[in-house]
Structure 1
Amino acid sequence: MSATTITAFSADDLVRRLPELGALLHACVHEGASVGFVMPCGIDECEAFWRGKVLASLRAGSLVLLVARHGEAIAGTVQLDYDTMPNQRHRAEVRKLLVHPALRRQGIARALMTELERHAQGLQRRLLTLDTRTGDHAEPLYAALGYRAAGMIPGYARDTHSDKFDATTIMYKAL
């Protein structure tokens, strides 16, 4: 079994590995991940997300994109958005923790979050925030990593596979 490594991707890395990143997002959405997409969701839409929503922030230097590789294959990603207003330069937001469905329950998400926190500390960020679908399998992971629930917002986002609306739990962690 290949070892998992985590690296920070540059904008050039994202462009080079765009098809794989698109495939990762596509697989996660099709497994029901609540990361902003609803079915039907094609691979083109997933690649467009990386080009349109992530690439510019990487180029601007306001986002860290961490990528977990299992061997050479992309196994997961997470983003640290630190594009904050002057009165919020002490905090950052965790976004889009994704692990390929075939590689879950192997510690990849935990390793990505640990490395994300290391990067946040290096950027002098002392408070991390995130949101997760209430009751989702990621919620206990975040709690185990020391994130605390600040509250829940009902009807926050449409479910990936149905017309119902799911609640979200807002969480935070002081580093």
Structure 2
Amino acid sequence: MIITRLDRTQLPERVDKLADLLVDTVDGGASIGFLAPLDRTAAVAWWQERARAVAAGHLAVWAAYDGHRVVGTVSLAFPDKPNSRHRAELVKLMVRRDARGQGLGRRLLDTAEETARSAGITLLHLDTETDSPAERLYGSAGWIRAGVIPDYAADPAGVLRPTTLYYKRLGETAPTR
């Protein structure tokens, strides 16, 4: 599989394939902000919004390809405040159901972390559904559990679930972005 960062011209061209991944991920039970079943039109619109954030420099998106199919993605969201240029939020780590268990989630996570480190980001943070497979991935990758918020978000079935907050320190260099 190939992982590539999508720039302001590539992301809009791949919205349909990214929407397929989003629908598959939500329908597979991953709690990433949507209820199931996720309408494909809504998934396309969501990725179109992300394309605008990439063009504005507020979001970086990587996609993993198996041939011409997008099988995974991860993003970094960058704050726009001057006092927070040293950090970013890891968001929307997704892997298609038929590509799980092969180390792709870890590769996507490593890609985002290394790029953040190279850009001078010294702190990453994220939230994920408590007791989810994603939580196990972050814990095994050295992320530090900061706490749990009860009833934080509804899972794809609409049931309120707790979320766990994590952070990871990357280094102590000055931001360059």
Name the TM-score, length of structure 1 as normaliser.
0.94
Amino acid at match of 1:125: I
Separation (CA, whole Å) in 2 of partners of 1:28 and 1:96? 10
SS in 2 for 1:49: helix
Residue-by-residue CA offset, 1:136-160 (whole Å, 9 max, x unaligned): 1110110111101100000000121
Residues 7-58 of structure 1: CA deviation (Å, up to 9, x unaligned): 1001221111111100000000001111110123211111111012x11110
User: 2:63 matched to which residue of 1?
Assistant: 67
Q: Does 1:169 align with 2:157?
A: no
Pairing 1:22-171 to 2, within 5 Å after superposition: 22-52=19-49, 54-162=50-158, 164-171=159-166
Give the whole-Å Cα distance in 1 for the aligned partners of 2:71 and 2:155. Answer: 24
Q: Matched residue of 2:152: which SS?
A: strand
Instruction: Name which of 14, 17, 21 aligns with 1:20.
Output: 17
Give the AA of the match of 1:93: E
Offset at residue 122 of structure 1 (A): 1.9
Paired residue for 1:7? 4
- Runs of 4+ deviating beyond 3 Å: none
Residue 125 of structure 1 aligns to a residue in which SS?
A: coil
Letter in 1 for 2:2: T
- Distance in 2 between the 1:161 and 1:62 partners? 30
d(CA) in 2 for partners of 1:106 and 1:13?
A: 26
- 8 Å contact from structure 1 (residues 84, 91) kept in 2: no
TM-score by length of 2: 0.93
Task: Classify the secondary structure of the residue corresponding to 2:10.
Answer: helix
What's the CA shift for 1:103? 0.4
CA contact (8 A) 1:23 1:43 kept: yes
Cα offset, 1:84, TM superposition: 3.6
The number of residue pairs the alignment matches comes to 170
Q: What letter matches 2:114 in structure 1?
A: R
Q: Which runs of 5+ in 2 are unaligned?
A: 171-177
| Secondary structure of the corresponding residue to residue 69 of structure 1 | strand
Contact 1:63 1:83 in 2 (8 A): no
Amino acid at match of 2:160: F
Cα deviation for residue 82 of structure 1 reads 1.4
Q: Distance in 2 between matches of 1:39 and 1:6?
A: 27
